[in-house]
Amino acid sequence: MKIALAQLNSTVGDIAGNADKVVAVHGEAKRAGADLVVLPELFLTGYPPEDLVLKPAFQDAAHDKVAELAEALADGPGVLLGTIWRQGDQLYNAVVLLDGGKVGAVRFKVDLPNYGVFDEKRLFEPGPLPGPINFRDVRIGVPICEDIWSEEVTECLEESGAELLLVPNGSPFDWKKPDIRTNIAVARITETNLPLAYVNLVGGQDELVFDGASFVLNANRSLACQLPQWREVVVVTEWLKEDDIWVCAKTEIAAIDDGDAAAYQACMLGLRDYVAKNGFPGVVLGLSGGIDSALVAAIAVDAVGADKVHSVMLPYRYTSEESLGDAAACATALGMRYDTISIGPAVEGFTQALADMFAGTEAGVTEENIQSRVRGTTLMAISNKFGSMVVTTGNKSEMSVGYATLYGDMNGGFNPIKDLYKTEVFRVAAWRNANVPDGALGPSGVVIPANILTKPPTAELREDQKDEDSLPPYDVLDDILTGLVEDERPLSEIVARGHAPELVARIQHLLYISEYKRRQAAPGIKISSRNFGRDRRYPITNRFREPVDTAKKPKRKAEAPEQVAPSPDGGDMG
């Protein structure tokens, strides 16, 4: 038996376009002599379709397209296709078998995930425990994605006579996910003694990136096939039955990215698909000479090409010659368009207009944030005039503690580095200077000037300003934030890592009071297992503060010096 694994990129809501891909891959598989094509979870509708599936017209369109495809694909291999399925007044996450001109079988997802980025229980009904599908005298178990994350569904399939498991998936990327998937699959194989093919989506959908990385494990848990990440691919696998066990012949074994390489690829693919699937002609960004905007510029050029990236330096009196030089050097290295627009006249105009209102007050953060908001308005004006989408450049460290300006540096339609802490930004930028990612459209060599990687970060909103005037060193801040955000550690454990109790309490407070800003931030790529927005959903109005024993002294480091808390509306265009 030959089974084609179709790791493809669908678009949510584009039922006709997704169906065209099904037809194309069916033809390819037919020419290769395949018996069966397996597509990812909810491929026809796109995944995750969220509340779009509640729209009756959408349900009707999906149902009609399934019937149309069944007729169109009558000759050749069967197709296991993920789609929504309405039965009576119930809606299911389903897989249908198209074979011989009809819908030969339907199976429903049993275990509906309702954690992290998933919200399926409010959309779908759980299906009954399934039996295998009889496909041309082979009994195939088709658990859907989450159905293999516990043993109940696969054990039911094994007990009811399944001979192999074909698993359609919509499994979004995070740093830990590839290893987790493999471990889950191995556990199910060990319990059932059945081979398993894992077919995953690839591509970006809003904040989520699906990395593909589909694979086949034989019943002896050996790896027979490993598809690459980040790109569409169709592989026809060959299966033979030996001693009543189906065995997949060994084929392509692609390398799997991890660490900084995986993060960069996810950001690049997510931005590329967000721009393309939403029909933007390109992107525009503020290029400050700082590390964040430089990394975003590199990602943008790699994602959509230098000819579709417009970078703009927006200097004011506090912008240093060093920043001007670094920004220009970065633009030259990446080969993108670079313009300079002085914000001085606009800032002075606002200052003059507000002079009577602000009379008798000291200049401070308010005046600093006028600069940031003028920059944001300028970029939005360019976007409105020429159609390119503004990409914003704030990192996770800044967004955690509110070191960002609403309607200023937070302006934009998308943020590819939203889920990277500042220390990770530096690491990923250094990785890109030493590597050219697969599929990148940008140049090789050093694309982020070395000086940008080594100089102290600064917002340049006042004379001689440095980020560490308002924040602890980023290695300290990021370690505390990892404990608070990713791990939800008790404050006492974070203090025990060597951080001053007063500093940990202050960062906790800043994290909580900045929730209102994060709710208004642009969407951005999910990299971690706990990103803002899709995973971590805290209330804006929130008076809870975990107490910390300020009498305790750090065990590892000397107590950090007293830090000045950043303004609730601090800004950073870098």
User: Which residues are identified as catalytic?
Assistant: 41, 109, 145
Instruction: Answer for the pair 330, 453: CB distance below 8 angstroms, yes or no.
Output: no
Please confirm whether the linkage preceding 48 is cis (ω < 30° from 0): yes
CB atoms within 10 A of CB 317: 13
Q: In angstroms, what CA-CA distances link 223 with 219, 232, 282, 502? A: 10, 20, 40, 50
139/162 Cα distance (integer angstroms) = 5
Alpha carbon distance 248, 222 (integer Å): 10
DSSP string, 466-492: -GGGTS--HHHHHHHHIIIIIS---HH
Provide CB contacts within 8 A for 116, sequence distance 6+: 529, 530, 534, 535
Please give the angle made by the CA atoms of 122, 126 and 131, to the nearest 5 degrees: 160
Residues 6+ positions from 198 with CB-CB distance below 8 Å = 167, 169, 181, 185, 214, 215, 216, 217
Give the span between the Cα atoms of 194 and 172, in whole angstroms: 25
- Residue keyed to tokens 């699906």: 210
Question: Is the separation of the CB atoms in 486 and 530 below 8 Å?
Answer: yes
Looking at residue 28, its amino acid is E
CA distance 548 to 248: 56
Q: How many CA atoms does the CB half-sphere of 318 hold within 13 Å?
A: 17
- Token pair recorded at residue 79: 């197709």
Smallest CA-to-CA distance from 459 within 520, 567, 364, 372 is with 372
| Measured CA distances, 510 to 119, 136, 317, 382, 568 (Å) | 29, 61, 29, 33, 8
H or E element: which one contains 17?
A: helix 15-31
286 within 8 A of 573, measured Cβ to Cβ: yes
Type and span of the H or E element at 377:
helix 365-386
| CB 403, CB 472: distance < 8 Å | no
Q: How does DSSP assign 252-290, residue by residue?
A: -B-----HHHHHHHHHHHHHHHHHHHTT-S-EEEE--SS
Placement of tokens 């590819």 in the chain = 416
CA distance 566 to 326: 26
